[in-house]
Structure 1
């Protein structure tokens, strides 16, 4: 097995998947698109924390939890480039670690369906869910006490040691802002809130549309034909 040259930390919803499963449930079975977008803008402006608005979003969904899982399995699609990237990552010893503000049971169910049994080797660090009344009543259980509910930077910082591999992050939205400054290279999805935040905070990022472009750039870093600096400068 080749040595680990790079580690990819990645958001799940809207990054590995085409759609955000939490937004899908909120827009269609909760408070609706307009109210959700208004809350997102309040996080970007600093009026509210992500922890606050995400609980509002999840609390607005009144379906049994199993029904929520079934709906996302029926409707959420995988990014078209992720499976090829993930196969390459296994062959080239590039660990993939999911850092998510979503709920672990939904993420694991989607990965198993969309990627297959090999996805069991993907480490997931996320929020969870508390079920009551046989799942007819449920609420989100946050990963930590931070304003994010899940401070993604806390996991990344454990890897910031001398002689470490290159650390990479891929994300799309406001749940990713805590991780935005922590890795050597940030991939931010075109047209999404993470880019808005990076521009406001003068954070360097590399734009992507699908995992195919992430795959291409990470492969070049691993084989030595590109460096982090050369990719960021493009």
Structure 2
């Protein structure tokens, strides 16, 4: 159940009305490049594709809930737990898809929003911690292969046995405890888009999400949409991060059209976007491996710390901690020291990893 929020949300307000003549681009002006990134599970679709598979063909809902708690507590990394969940599956790919097709529910306005993106030349990309073959198959089924082909998917690969006896994620970022670092993917896309703009125009980056795993990517966006009442919105409220709430993709379409008109009127499509986020990459540079900033160290839950700072806030398993009691490793000493410092409310915290 969503947690009640008492502080008022930091919601981006509509742009002030402009004269009609101001909104018409002058000669030589052009539309700014807008690039959309969206989470998949809980955002485009109301349910989680992985959860449906695990509950029906894998470890089961009870074991999955235990594993989810291990992520939230920081006992195990997201990647480690995900490998166990995916590894528990024993079903051929096509058979596994049957239950997803039966139980998944797409946002009622997503198809219209995607058509809006196509009509306006806005690239729409899925960015997910899930498995790319699963997500592609779902999009093909719900949108049709022709429309699905227009959506790039940035997600992990998969090695699936023909008989379904073994499912193994192939991590997009093997060196990360997250498996797929969404912030890195968005940052790389931003840099590539900027390099593609020969006149120095900076593209506008939009991110759409719903949950804790979207936190790193959300901080990379110029315009952020958070599904109303879920954890991403609560985090934005608690940390004063500007965002726009949405109930369906129709809300996003209306707001994005306003953002586009606002930018046309104020910048004529040149230079920085009207809603440029100057902190898009700065927070990751500041929160390098040698320092954990206060806003991360004091974030509300350990799960959020883990997604924002996986190397520092993912603890060793209980067995590993017990085994190291007689000969504590340098990494464990620093992790324990970090947790102690955070609990005292101090910061920033220096960590030499």
Determine if contact 2:57/2:96 at 8 Å carries over to the other structure: no
Structure 2 segments unaligned to the other structure (5+ residues): 1-29, 195-199, 266-273, 277-353
CA distance in 2, matches of 1:202, 1:46: 25
Task: Report the alpha carbon displacement of residue 120 of structure 1 after superposing the two structures with TM.
Answer: 0.3
- Within 5 Å, which residues of 2 pair with 1:173-188? 173-188=211-226
Determine if contact 2:126/2:152 at 8 Å carries over to the other structure: yes
Aligned to 2:207: 169
Structure 1 segments unaligned to the other structure (5+ residues): 230-234
Structure with higher strand content: 1
CA distance in 1, matches of 2:44, 2:165: 28
> Which one is further off, 34-43 or 81-90?
34-43
Kindly indicate whether residue 183 of structure 2 is the aligned counterpart of residue 153 of structure 1.
yes
Aligned to 1:144: 173
RMSD: 2.6
Kindly indicate whether residue 212 of structure 2 is the aligned counterpart of residue 212 of structure 1.
no
Name the TM-score, length of structure 2 as normaliser. Answer: 0.58
Instruction: From the superposition, tell whether residues 108 and 35 of structure 1 become closer, same or farther in structure 2 (CA, over 3 Å).
Output: same
Match of 1:71 among 85, 99, 103: 99
Task: Report the alpha carbon displacement of residue 138 of structure 1 after superposing the two structures with TM.
Answer: 2.0
**Which structure: larger Rg?**
2
Provide Cα deviations, 1:180-207, integer angstroms capped at 9, x if missing partner: 2111122222333333544565544332
Provide Cα deviations, 1:65-90, integer angstroms capped at 9, x if missing partner: 32212221232121111001010111
- Within 5 Å, which residues of 2 pair with 1:2-151? 3-116=31-144, 117-145=146-174, 146-151=176-181
Q: How many residues are matched?
A: 228
Instruction: From the superposition, tell whether residues 133 and 106 of structure 1 become closer, same or farther in structure 2 (CA, over 3 Å).
Output: closer
Determine if contact 1:65/1:137 at 8 Å carries over to the other structure: no
